[in-house]
Amino acid sequence: MSQSTIFLVINSTIKFKAVSSMTKTKRLLTLFLRFLAIGATIAAVIVMVTSHDSSEVFNLTFTAKYSNQQAFKYFVIAEAIACAYSLILLFTSPQNSLWRLVMILDVVIAMLLSSSVSAALAIAHVGKKGNTHAGWLPICGQVPKFCDHVTGALIAGFAAAIIYFLLIFSSLYSAQSSLFPLN
Amino acid sequence: MASEDGEKVEHGLNEVPEKKPKKKDWVLLSLRVIAFLATASATIVMALNKQTKSFVVATVGSTPITATLAAKFNQTPAFVFFVIANGNASLHNLVMITMDVFGSQYDYKGLRLALIAILDMMAMALASAGDGAAAFMSELGKNGNSHARWDKICDKFETYCNRSGAALIASFVGFILLLIISVMSIIKLLKPNRINHNASP
């Protein structure tokens, strides 16, 4: 009976040592993904904010800025919130007792990002193709630089949303395997 | 029963298998039912959203020429995506409810809770995207955009706008409930005393 308990204790300590280096790799992966997310959100914010173009049509100046559309403003605000959240997490790196709160906030921010990208994509689609039923003409023909900028910002925002989802999965995976080290 | 014994033998720690009676989680089940009702009603209200109206376009002499315009949900890609996303969310909730009520003993290699959490998050991601797109598209229809020379359409098609607003509200309620459900599923997945084992590292 004592032999089996000694065997079990040794077995569990060996596996624990092996797993603690594995959890370090997983934690590094999560940190790396967070860094990537910061980069993607900053890129999206900057590209969207610097998008403006103007053209002259029949002696009327037609300026297009990102702040003319509500959806683009929402996009910038959501990406900025996600960027600030990631920066705060990266620099404070909270204790292990708060990891559940961090995971819940990760899910909320990922949903915010996905909804903002989708909203901006919907409005940009109307801008590019128009909507004949509502009588809305496409504007991309007059302000092509604005359209290109918005496309770039949308791609960066989409990448940020994907990275956030990968982050959720990776932190789920690392949290689960650290809870069951004998798995 | 067999999978539970297999799990314990695999971990090799238990001498006496403690079998706790599986309690049904009524809170989660009732939240799922309400979320299913909310998303299903949003899908149905938006899918049946249609309004036809005839306008007097011009007057030739004394006879007015009328043109009938119809506003349907499938004219806007954002609303189509909204219907698809909410339909997917309600289907997902229905499947989860039936699995909870009728199949609570199936556990696919211990991955049941993980699968539920991941599927919940995928349905929630789609629902959030659909909500965001439809919300801003209907805001554009309500207020128009003077900079892009886009006229608002809600003053002409009031019933259409009201119905899509109601569908949006129901969808937001469903999305918030889906968020709470997903958080609860993740917490259930990561509970440390999920498997009975005596020795802790």
pLDDT tens for residues B88-119? 999 999 999 998 888 777 777 667 888 888 89
Across the interface, of B13, B121, B137, the residue whose CB is closest to A122 is: B137
The share of chain A scoring above pLDDT 70, in percent, equals 86
- Rounded mean pLDDT of A30-46? 92
Across the interface, of B13, B75, B130, the residue whose CB is closest to A8 is: B13
pLDDT tens digits, residue range A135-171?
A: 888 888 888 888 899 999 999 999 999 999 999 988 8
Q: How far apart are CA A172 and CA A181, in angstroms?
A: 14
Q: Which residue has the higher pLDDT, B172 or A66?
A: B172
pLDDT tens digits, residue range B33-51?
A: 999 999 999 999 999 988 8
Contacts of A117 in chain B (CB under 8 A): 129
User: Cβ A172–B124 below 8 Å, yes or no?
Assistant: no
Q: Give kind and range of the element (H or E) at residue A23.
A: helix A2-49
Q: Which residue has the higher pLDDT, B184 or A8?
A: B184
pLDDT of residue A182: 43
Contacts of B133 in chain A (CB under 8 A): 115, 118-119, 121-122
Taking CA atoms, what residue in B is nearest to A73? B136
- Rounded mean pLDDT of B173-177? 95
Q: Is the pLDDT of residue B19 over 60?
A: no
pLDDT of residue B65: 80
Contacts of B57 in chain A (CB under 8 A): none
pLDDT of residue A11: 64
Taking CA atoms, what residue in B is nearest to A110? B125
Sorting pLDDT into bands at 50, 70 and 90, what band is B125? very high
ipTM exceeds 0.85 = no
Q: What is the mean pLDDT of chain A?
A: 84
pLDDT of residue B198: 38
| Residues within 8 A of A (CB atoms), B 6-65 only | 11-13
Contacts of A169 in chain B (CB under 8 A): 118
| Residues within 8 A of A (CB atoms), B 158-197 only | 179, 182-183, 186-187, 189-190, 192, 194-195, 197
pLDDT of residue B6: 47
- Rounded mean pLDDT of A118-129? 92
- Rounded mean pLDDT of B39-68? 85
Tokens 């403003």 correspond to what residue? A73
User: Cβ B136–A135 below 8 Å, yes or no?
Assistant: no
Both tokens of B122, joined, read: 């995928």
The share of chain B scoring above pLDDT 90, in percent, equals 43
Based on the number of CB atoms within 10 Å of its own CB, is A73 exposed (0-12), middle (13-18) or buried (19 or more)? middle
- Rounded mean pLDDT of A81-95? 86
Taking CA atoms, what residue in B is nearest to A68? B147
- Rounded mean pLDDT of B67-80? 87
- Rounded mean pLDDT of B127-155? 89
Q: Is the pLDDT of residue B200 over 50?
A: no
What does the domain layout of chain B look like in residue ranges?
Answer: 2-193
Q: Which residue has the higher pLDDT, A109 or A131?
A: A109
Four-CA torsion A64, A68, A74, A79, nearest 10 degrees: 30
| CA–CA distances in Å: residue B45 to residues A101, A110, A162, B143 | 36, 28, 31, 22
How close does chain B come to A92, measured CA to CA in Å? 23
| Residues within 8 A of B (CB atoms), A 79-108 only | 100, 103-104, 107-108
- Rounded mean pLDDT of B4-18? 49
Taking CA atoms, what residue in A is nearest to B118? A169
Q: Tell me the residue ranges of DSSP E strands in chain A.
A: 52-57, 60-65
Q: Tell me the residue ranges of DSSP E strands in B73-196.
A: none
How close does chain A come to B144, measured CA to CA in Å? 10
User: Cβ A118–B130 below 8 Å, yes or no?
Assistant: yes
Sorting pLDDT into bands at 50, 70 and 90, what band is B3? very low
Sorting pLDDT into bands at 50, 70 and 90, what band is A65? confident
How close does chain A come to B115, measured CA to CA in Å? 12
Sorting pLDDT into bands at 50, 70 and 90, what band is B8? very low
Taking CA atoms, what residue in A is nearest to B111? A176
Q: How many CB atoms lie within 10 A of CB B19?
A: 11
Of B28, B17, B199, nearest in space to A181 by CA:
B199
Q: Is the pLDDT of residue B57 over 90?
A: no
